[in-house]
Structure 1
Amino acid sequence: MASEISSDSEFDGFDEEQVLSAVEKDREIQERVRRIVDNESDVDVSEEESEDSAESSDEDEMCGDIYMRNVNRDWDHELSEVNIPAFEEETGVQNRLNPDARPIDYFFRFLPQVFFENLATETNRYATQKGPDPRWSPTNANEMRAFVSINIFMGVRQLPCISNYWSTDERFSDPFIASIMPKTRFVKINQYLHLRDTSNTPGRNDPAYDPLFKVRNLIDVIQPKLRETYKPGKNLSVDEGMIGFKGRLHFRQYMPAKPTKWGIKVWQICESDTGYCCGFDIYTGKKPGGRQHGLGYDVVWNLSKHYHHQNRHLYFDRFFSSVTLAEHLELVGTYVCGTIVANRKGLPDNVKKAKLKNRGDIIQMQKGNLIATSFKDKRQITFLSSFAPPHLDENTGKPHVNILYNKHMGGVDKFDQMASYYPVGRPGTKWWRYILWYIVNLSILNAWVLYQKSEKNPPPQKGYDHLGFRMDVADQLRAGFTSRKHRIGRKAKNCNKKIAIQSINHHELVKIDGRKKMCRECSLHNRKTLSGRPVETTFKCGFCDLPLCRNGCFTSFHERNLN
């Protein structure tokens, strides 16, 4: 890990002329690279352009030289060592917390208190828009924190139905969750949960239409925090994941090879060693106008653009790989390693048509720093790399590109594996909530990486793991909140025994086993609840076996019928 940044007192800052000069220089470099990437035919060595290039910076000349060397050079069987700059970027946690910071403090680096305040505001707004509900009372940030913590706890202890957590059956019930808030309150908050005002959502024919409008504000808030909070190491992997969802959605995807076959596809870039998610992009279907270099090219370029010009190494599979992508990324100081479809445009014919018979057979061809490799292991596989050394590794008998790919490609898979252990949230029909819970889970996993990479005093107990950290985040998020008016006590051991609460002669008021029933007395007098529904009770007369309300109905019924 790189050394810490020096304090502000050691740096006086840049003057205005230096800043303007740097901005203008960067603008010129970006414009030159853009012209090369967007239109390869623009690369022409004319007299006029020669005069312009003479005035360009050394960095521009280096980019142009690399591109021209790769474009104009043919693939060759003669192999030489690749020549790339060293990775020298600062890595690790940025703006470190104090050693005595709690797990919730790391979580707040991604989803701070203002997120829960906005969640409460929008939930109250949506409840008001849906019309008067006599069972609804406005919520606040503390209650929303408790609501999210319950959803985290539910991911650790998963039960078939929400009602199971509040069940009177001890085999299902969870007294801890039930002590935070009643089931009716949890269901009401879940009913009106919202992230933003959707009353003015743009229609599909509107130029401002955004398929992710309902969660766009949350995505825009979390994305910069992923990059600012932690600087990853040299090796990054890009891959696709799936947010499971089986409801109706026009950009829902089906991927039969994935463990989660139906859902919302999400592209991710993660640190290879830790699985820290540095960025993500949710796929919403084909975009009008087409793509110049294909979907895989655009995904890798957009996810990695914040890490260009840093000499990082990117790993991805054959869905994304292309010779064009590797050449263009090398222009911006980013180097690639990945599998590639053997018939991909730009690969040499000898690699495309190679039919290797024996295990260990290999064909390699080179073009600048690019090396195309076809290797026969259990099956024949093709690689493309711009930084891996050529030839075979002496110890394993496999090409270096194969070893590097297997070692560093699993960053996204590591993230998905950790996320699958304890999914946040409950199944439902609203697609945007799946993205909300995905981001909450992502924040917990990234916070766990920060916690592991940070100095802690006192140190955590031996055996403290991801599960313990997750439970601490949920408990500290709740912060002792409870919306119950009375504390829930433990049931008596003889809970099956019917205890008389009131009695008139041999008529006794007892608890009903199971669900509530309609009160006979209230039904006789046509009494209704505030919402217009029949009055139900959990009590009955043990002798008459009639459901009767505890307050008034039991007494009035028997006084009228016994006299």
Structure 2
Amino acid sequence: MSPSPDREPSTSTTWSLSIIYLHHLVPVSLEDVDLLCMECGTKATEFSSHYPSFVSCLLCPYTTFCSCAYASHMIICFELECMQCDFVSLTGDKMAEHLVLNPGHDIACRPRTALKEPDIEFSLQGGTQQKPSPPDTTITPDPVNPSWTRVAGSDLDTLKYIRVGRFKQDKGPRHALPKSADAMEYFLLAYPESLLELIAKETNAHVKTCQYLGMPSPQWTLLSVPELKAFLGLVILMGVHGLPDISQYWSLTQHDRHTFDQAMSLRRFKQIATNIRMGSLVTDEYRGGGNPKDGLHILRPMLDILGQAMWKAYRPNCNLTIDRTLLPALEDQAGHRMLTYRQTLPEIWLLCDSKSGYCHRLSIHTRESGEHETVGLQVVPRLMEGLEGMNHRLYLANSLASPRLMRQLLKQGIYASSSFPILSPVLPMQLWQEGNLTIAGHYLQWQSGPLLATRWRDAKEMGCLCTNSFPGRVDTVWRRSQTQAGKLDPLERPMAFRLLQENMRGVDICKQLLACNPLGGVPQDCHWRSLFWFLLNLSVVNSFIVLRESRKSNPPAWVQSGLFSQLNFRRRLGTQLAQCYHRPPETQDPASGGEGERETVAGETVARETLDPLKEMHRMTKISLCTKRCWNCNLKHIRHETAYGCPVCKANLCNKASCFWEFHGLCPLTKGK
């Protein structure tokens, strides 16, 4: 009989083909039959692919007569590793491309002990680049080299002012949801069903690939869209509660325990959290697909679906902001944040509404994109695509601004404004040589065509470059008096700074909402995981903003006193998503002796009916009304006060997993064993 396709090829000393008649066991010609190779278990459509030549592996005793069986053996049992860096590949094509880019590197073939999934590559500042880049790619001088004219008080009547067009476009939420729509319906606007179907499909494909490659994995049940919704809902609820250990959400003392227990078991939650994918790098590398020039080709389908949903749900306002945010630092196996310099964290540029903080678009840098261009000329046109000629006011981060970019935006009908540091290389030295600012409230202005450069001294000297303001116009702000205690002094502020300070806050509002009750219970040990959960968190924030802006005049019944709270929104959204799926009843464990359903608590299985609430296991919970010193930190001569602790030991411990496991003499890496 021929071996099964999912088994390892046999080491038979003969090579043969098994002729299988699919319809009837009657003599037919060879063109009407399917040939099955008995060595590799696959259909032999061509004899050249299964040429009868004896092949012996030099790294192990494996022998075969089939070239396809030998190739499968090498892919399953061995991997290629670069000896000069950490690059690992399952196929020779990927390693060949790596060696072409790095001529001085060597490779070695070793047995594959564990599946090491590669990570996505970002354009990291301060990191090692594959290709040499010019010394200063972030800021370059303006190639036009225009002349700048000093604006004095006597020249205001002769200046030619810029005509700033009016914004007349529709703005705000754009959807057809009824007034009875709840939190989950608004969430599906920003995180559509098509994206959930993609994640479920790619997750199942990743697990299937790992099982084919022989990786040890527990029994996997296909992930469905309702179960995925329940999983995401539990992740959102974990960010709301913020318990130090994931097993505590299934503890009997957890007041919201029934929501977690009805949705899925702790084991299933960990299984999904480990295998969830929006595109498997292992599957892509094994199949040989994807675009090697695109560092984000695995994320591209998710980014396309999410980008379209973000753009359709909310129409851009007049004032927009572009600034960057950083992904959270990666975690180690114990769940602690690893120390990382800010310059080495991946950058994500956001286009946000200046008033509400809604994120319309985002841009992620990869190593292959625009290394020889300025950051502003690469990021801003991509984010502002489709908004030309609408008279938007755009406020930029100082690392994006340049006179060349602002002239380009003005030709497209977009008025821009940005701050610039002192002695900025994008502006001529003339702006700093013609005057000094020593008194608060004084300012100097220069004009070059439509560009207006302003230096103003508040508590310190600042600069503003814009195309949306007029020279000579000021307003009054109040600052604390430096001479008289308890009094305020008036201060003149140029109009350019007023517009910048009032509207350069859209990304800051978005980042504040992202930092409020973030997601919990999921690992973030690599960049693609961190980006995946960042996109989910961003979708939750966007859906909250759409709900708040849509229901201002008619808030839902669960909104208290008409005040929209993101905490209440996340709690309600997580509960509704968790109720989309109920786990099937588990089969009875023979070891339980027929004493009812069994349950996992703190890593051990116990019968639910026989569990005594007064004799529970060691756990973390609130044990005192007032805060007391942490026993574990006190032994290290560190003062931390907390109201949480172990009720069995009656010891106050910090609200984090490390103190709990160290106090009980266990390492966080061995918990549950």
What TM-score, normalized by structure 1, do the two folds share?
0.68
Q: Does 1:477 align with 2:577?
A: yes
User: Is the alpha carbon distance of 1:197 and 1:349 closer, same or farther for their aligned partners in structure 2, counting shifts above 3 Å?
Assistant: closer
> Does 1:351 find its partner at 2:416?
no
Q: Which residue of 1 aligns with 2:269?
A: 186
2:511 pairs, out of 401, 406, 416, with 416
Write the deviation string for residues 476-499 of structure 1: whole angstroms up to 9, x where unpaired.
2223522162698998996336xx
Selected match of 1:84 from 164, 173, 180: 164
Report the secondary structure of 2:613's partner residue.
coil
8 Å contact from structure 1 (residues 103, 469) kept in 2: yes
Contact 1:273–1:408 under 8 Å retained in 2: yes
1:246 CA displacement: 2.3
2:533 is aligned with 1:437: yes
Cα contact 2:329–2:339 (8 A) shared by 1 = no
2:308 — aligned with what? 224
Distance 2:190 2:472 in 1: 44
Q: Name the CA shift for 1:144/1:312 in 2 (closer, same or farther; >3 Å).
A: same
Per-residue deviation, 1:148: 0.7
Q: Distance in 1 between matches of 2:349 and 2:529?
A: 18
One-letter amino acid of the counterpart of residue 466, structure 2: S
Q: Deviations over 1:134-180 (max 9, x none)?
A: 53222211111111111111111112232232346x37984432332
Which residue of structure 2 aligns with residue 143 of structure 1? 227
> What does residue 165 of structure 1 align with?
249
Q: Does 1:242 align with 2:337?
A: no
Would you say the 8 A contact 1:246–1:262 is kept in 2? no
Does the residue aligned with 1:233 lie in a helix, a strand or coil? coil
| TM-score, normalised with respect to structure 2 | 0.57
Matched-pair contact (CA < 8 Å) for 2:323–2:397? yes
Q: 1:274 aligns with which of 352, 356, 378?
A: 356
Q: Say whether 1:389 aligns with 2:470.
A: yes
Deviation per residue, 1:424-450 (Å, 9 max, x gap): 242332321221211111111111121
Q: Is it true that 1:96 corresponds to 2:153 in the alignment? A: no
RMSD, aligned α-carbons: 3.3
**Structure 2: runs of 5+ lacking an equivalent:** 1-141, 333-337, 478-491, 586-596, 600-606, 620-673
Number of residue pairs the alignment of both structures matches: 424
User: Could you tell me whether the CA contact under 8 Å between 2:293 and 2:368 is conserved in 1?
Assistant: no
Closer/same/farther in 2, CA of residues 369 and 422 from structure 1, 3 Å limit? same
- The Cα shift of 1:114 comes to 2.5
Alignment gaps of 5+ in structure 1: 1-39, 42-69, 498-511, 516-563
| Paired residue secondary structure (1:219) | helix
Provide the rounded CA distance (Å) in 2 between the counterparts of 1:458 and 1:423. Answer: 24
- 1:263 aligns with one of 326, 345, 365: 345
- Pick the aligned partner of 2:494 from 394, 399, 402: 399
Q: Which moved more, 1:380-389 or 1:463-472?
A: 463-472
Q: How far did 1:241 drift?
A: 0.3
Shift of 1:402: 1.1
Give 1:186's aligned amino acid.
F
Contact 2:473/2:495 (<8 A) preserved: yes
Q: 1:203 to 1:350 in 2, by over 3 A?
A: farther
User: Residue 545 of structure 2 is aligned with which of 434, 440, 449?
Assistant: 449
CA contact (8 A) 2:320 2:352 kept: yes
Deviation readout 1:482-525 (Å, 9 max, x if unpaired): 2162698998996336xxxxxxxxxxxxxx9679xxxxxxxxxx
Corresponding residue SS for 2:163 = coil
More helix by share: 1
The aligned residue for residue 13 of structure 1 is: none
1:26-51 Cα offsets, whole Å, 9 max, x none, are: xxxxxxxxxxxxxx99xxxxxxxxxx
1:359-370 equivalence runs, <5 A: 359-370=440-451
Distance 1:439-1:207 versus aligned 2 partners, 3 A rule? closer
Deviations 1:443-481 (A, max 9, x none): 111111211222576743424422222222222222352
Q: Distance in 2 between matches of 1:309 and 1:202?
A: 46
Cα distance in 2 for residues equivalent to 1:159 and 1:416: 23
Distance 1:303 1:458, change over 3 A: closer
User: Does the C-alpha gap of structure 1 residues 188 and 300 become closer, same or farther in structure 2, counting only changes over 3 Å?
Assistant: same
Q: Report the Cα offset of residue 200 of structure 1.
A: 2.4
For the 8 Å contact 1:356–1:362, the answer to whether it is kept is yes
Within the candidate set 392, 397, 400, 1:320 is matched to: 400
Q: 2:365 aligns with which of 283, 296, 301?
A: 283
Are 2:187 and 2:539, in contact at CA under 8 Å, matched by a contact in 1? yes
With over 3 angstroms needed to count, the CA separation of the structure-2 counterparts of 1:207 and 1:472, relative to structure 1, is closer
- Relative distance call for 1:276 and 1:206 in structure 2 (3 A) is closer
Q: CA shift at 1:339, angstroms?
A: 0.5
The question of whether the paired residues in 1 share the 8 Å contact of 2:316 and 2:353 is answered with yes
Q: 1:203 to 1:406 in 2, by over 3 A?
A: farther
Provide the rounded CA distance (Å) in 2 between the counterparts of 1:104 and 1:172.
22
CA shift, 1:379, in A, is 0.9
Preserved CA contact (<8 Å) 2:290 2:297: no
Q: 1:120 to 1:492 in 2, by over 3 A?
A: same
- Bigger shift: residues 398-407 or 157-166: 157-166
* 1:75 aligns with one of 132, 143, 149: 149
Counterpart code for 1:269: L
Question: Is 1:195 the equivalent of 2:313?
Answer: no
Aligned counterpart for 1:108 among listed residues 188, 191, 209 = 188
Q: Which amino acid aligns with 2:294?
A: D
Corresponding position of 2:613 = 495
Q: Tell me by how many angstroms 1:348 deviates.
A: 5.0
SS where residue 178 of structure 2 aligns? coil
Report what 1:331 is aligned to.
411
Contact 2:295–2:368 under 8 Å retained in 1 = no
Q: Could you tell which deviates more after superposition, 206-215 or 467-476? A: 206-215
Distance 1:197 1:71, change over 3 A: same
Q: Distance in 1 between matches of 2:286 and 2:165?
A: 47
Determine if contact 1:245/1:262 at 8 Å carries over to the other structure.
no
Compute the displacement of 1:72 (Å): 6.6
| Residues 184, 323 of structure 1: alpha-carbon distance in 2 compared, 3 angstrom cutoff | same
Q: Deviations over 1:268-321 (max 9, x none)?
A: 110000000011011234646611xx1133222221223221110111232111
Counterpart of 1:389, as a letter, is F
Q: Share of identical aligned residues, percent?
A: 25
Contact between 1:324 and 1:346, CA under 8 Å: does it hold in 2? no
Q: Which amino acid aligns with 2:230?
A: A
1:191–1:314: structure 2 CA closer, same or farther, 3 Å change rule? same
CA–CA distance in 2 between the matches of 1:413 and 1:183?
A: 36
**Pairwise CA distance, 1:351:** 1.7
SS in 2 for 1:279: strand
Deviation, 1:217, is 1.1
> Could you tell me how far apart the structure 2 residues matched to 1:84 and 1:287 are?
34
Q: Which amino acid aligns with 1:420?
A: A
**CA-to-partner distance for each residue in 1:348-368, whole Å, 9 max, x for gaps?**
544233421111221111123
Look up the match of 1:211.
Answer: 295
- In the other structure, the counterpart of 2:56 is none
Q: Which amino acid aligns with 1:421?
A: C
Match of 1:468 among 564, 568, 571: 568
